[in-house]
A and B are shown apart, each in its own frame.
Chain A
């Protein structure tokens, strides 16, 4: 690679006050390559992206584009030089339609909008990335995958030389993710330098030409993907050799049936779900996005009452109609959407952990006993290894993995009998994933029971005693995880084969 890099970071450092987010970072991106960047959460990936897209200015060091040093003062300056980024949470304007979303940041274009030609060009761009979309629809009503396509089309609407994709597939189903990878590859083939950031290592191996590992704000290695092994990459990321985080643990399921569901149906959403959940068991629900797994969980938790079927909880027939009822029965639900449903971001860790169990901290006068609240929060910080100097810190400033642990702590503080966890490790790093797995394992060992929804197949295999596979609102079967394979689950989830 003797060519001139499209974009290069030369000994770039960035500090915030006392903490160095990036130190002496060097990176070269060449036209036509897919360059994966991996690292644990907090390794400095997002700081690096923000420097490449002009949102942050380096404290020292140099950004080069086409071999010449540049100062990117703001995202518009970066955009004008051909650097664009798309993110895990699509940055669309929900109230504007697809066409307007694509051309909103068009610079150098005329003052007056030519709706008809914009519409035509929007259709062409959407077509170029192989999607079919009604360009007159408001972006708020699109699926995540479609919103991401809109973002890519927006990036392509102007000259793009570097496209940074930050965890683009974290929220997508397997099929949609494959589609997105295809788009990324074809962009690289047309000469764009694609930066691909992902926690799904198998994805990195599928798509990348070269892989850069960063840790603690430092560059660790850059190698052609053919020369890297998954285990070696993980070792580079965490700075120590780790055992396989997919380690399967022995089941601690007992005979007692905690939850028995027969023919559970919510008209028009899902139908005929039947399973028994034993004490100490971890039942995983696998399936693609749109399989309606979360909807089943929400019905079990009483958010949306089921319209038919029956549910027995600890032998008693119950009709779950509200979360309050479910909580009173000892059922907890940890949502997949931390931001929207799970955590109060501006509040401290302490208040978030006590949120669902506030009644336990009331003094006889009905006031909140802060000392006790703080004590519980500190205990959970210890037990769950939440990395925060103080429990008074706002949850919003923690990394994704630590936020996830705060959320788990909130529900574990309730001491539930049945814990329903929705996508517990989405968007968090390998180390934190293993910790979350350990927590769930410890919970069932202590007599709890867990229902885990996950799209991460290695996780499903490692965590679940049995795996319930869903497809488009129907239960396709329950597989014993000892006999299951990723390929096997995927085949059932996509309807290619029947569950054994």
Chain B
């Protein structure tokens, strides 16, 4: 056990801890709510996670570079609406083209943010706070107060999220969830294995050193926003397919949920460290709480948000305290080992 404890990176430990917390929570709710575990629970959570995982991943990319994207909810909403509009007038269009459209559409919003943050050198919290409002107002203007309704959408789109792909232990994995998992996995592989993506961590970890090391920090930050926008666009499509009815408030509050999922998932809010797998688990945790509290009789609907907030605070606080201790402890041990080695050398 101690061997495993020593070998695992703090990130790895965090993921294990998150899994444990999710399982404990599920067990807790199962003891509180009759008939908690059923097929519907899994499909509800997985359906919701399909969207959350995408926006958590999008947010993670930006946070890694020591920035934040508060406009993500507006981008999701706008893309959902625009895609809905497009597909209801062209119901025969190819699905691939629609996916591409959503990615590009979202990426354009990301590029606006990225340009101002990276090349205008304006703090991202200010830029995206402003664009959150601007993008939302543009959506109101563009939609002309109308909404997209399910009956105008082609059946292949609205049916997609619920298509069963495969079943494990009676749990039905549906298309939306599986697609989101694939995207997250691809993002994870890219972040860990692609050279240009490793620079996201470098820039977030020490921007000055990145500059000195010949990394074009501005381009890295810009790319992070563009990629994040593309993922948010994809989340918009997912949102459209899942809910069908899109109003101008679509995606409202997603900035908070995405930051929460990323941070609960162990992404350092000051940049430089974190994994999208962690962010995915963070999204799952947030969704489990969100979905289960509705069914828990003891807690009224009114308290749902507060409990959610408290749990986020709790998990992040214990997590940072724990990780900090671990890092300090490991450094001390490495130091002791080095000293011992030096003494060994000095002796003969």
CB within 8 Å of B: which residues of A? 53, 55, 74-76, 78-79, 85, 87, 91-96, 100, 104-107, 109-113, 115, 132, 134, 137-138, 140-141, 143, 154
B202:A96 contact, CB within 8 angstroms: yes
A75:B213 contact, CB within 8 angstroms: yes
A79 to B341, CA, bound (A): 36
A138 to B272, CA, bound (A): 12
Residues of B within 8 A of A141 (CB): 327, 330-331, 334
B334:A95 contact, CB within 8 angstroms: no
Closest 5 CB pairs of A and B: A76-B214, A91-B209, A95-B272, A105-B213, A93-B205
A94:B272 contact, CB within 8 angstroms: yes
Q: Is B211 an interface residue (CB 8 A)?
A: yes
Q: Is B347 an interface residue (CB 8 A)?
A: no
Task: Name A154's contact: one of B192, B198, B213, B272 (CB within 8 Å).
Answer: B213
B214:A79 contact, CB within 8 angstroms: yes
B205:A113 contact, CB within 8 angstroms: no
Q: List 23 A-B contacts (CB under 8 A).
A: A55-B212, A75-B214, A85-B212, A93-B201, A94-B205, A94-B206, A95-B204, A95-B205, A96-B205, A96-B272, A104-B202, A104-B213, A105-B215, A106-B195, A109-B195, A111-B194, A111-B196, A112-B194, A113-B194, A134-B334, A141-B330, A141-B331, A154-B213
B196:A95 contact, CB within 8 angstroms: no
Contact count A vs B, C-beta below 8 Å: 83
Q: Is B199 an interface residue (CB 8 A)?
A: yes
Extra A-B contacts (8), CB below 8 Å, given A79-B214, A112-B193, A115-B193: A55-B211, A91-B208, A93-B206, A96-B198, A96-B272, A104-B210, A110-B195, A138-B327
Size of the chain B interface, CB-CB below 8 angstroms: 30
Tell me the residues in window 161-207 of chain B with beta carbons closer than 8 Å to chain A beta carbons: 192-196, 198-199, 201-202, 204-206
Residues of B within 8 A of A85 (CB): 212
Chain B nearest CB, measured from A161 CB (Å): 15
Q: Can you name the residue of chain A whose Cβ is closest to the Cβ of B337?
A: A134
A93:B214 contact, CB within 8 angstroms: no
A14 to B272, CA, bound (A): 35
Q: Is B268 an interface residue (CB 8 A)?
A: yes
A55 to B199, CA, bound (A): 19
Q: Is B273 an interface residue (CB 8 A)?
A: yes
Task: Name A95's contact: one of B195, B215, B268, B335 (CB within 8 Å).
Answer: B268
Chain B nearest CB, measured from A188 CB (Å): 22
A75:B211 contact, CB within 8 angstroms: yes
A94 to B327, CA, bound (A): 12
Interface centre among B198, B214, B327 (most CB of A within 10 A): B214
Q: Is B216 an interface residue (CB 8 A)?
A: yes
Task: Name B212's contact: one of A91, A95, A109, A113 (CB within 8 Å).
Answer: A91
Chain A nearest CB, measured from B128 CB (Å): 23
B216:A76 contact, CB within 8 angstroms: yes
A138 to B324, CA, bound (A): 13
Q: Can you name the residue of chain B whose Cβ is closest to the Cβ of A175?
A: B342
A105:B214 contact, CB within 8 angstroms: yes
A154 to B331, CA, bound (A): 22
Residues of A within 8 A of B211 (CB): 55, 75
Chain A nearest CB, measured from B193 CB (Å): 5
Chain B nearest CB, measured from A341 CB (Å): 18
A111 to B198, CA, bound (A): 11
Chain A nearest CB, measured from B187 CB (Å): 15
Residues of B within 8 A of A111 (CB): 194-196
Residues of A within 8 A of B202 (CB): 93, 96, 100, 104
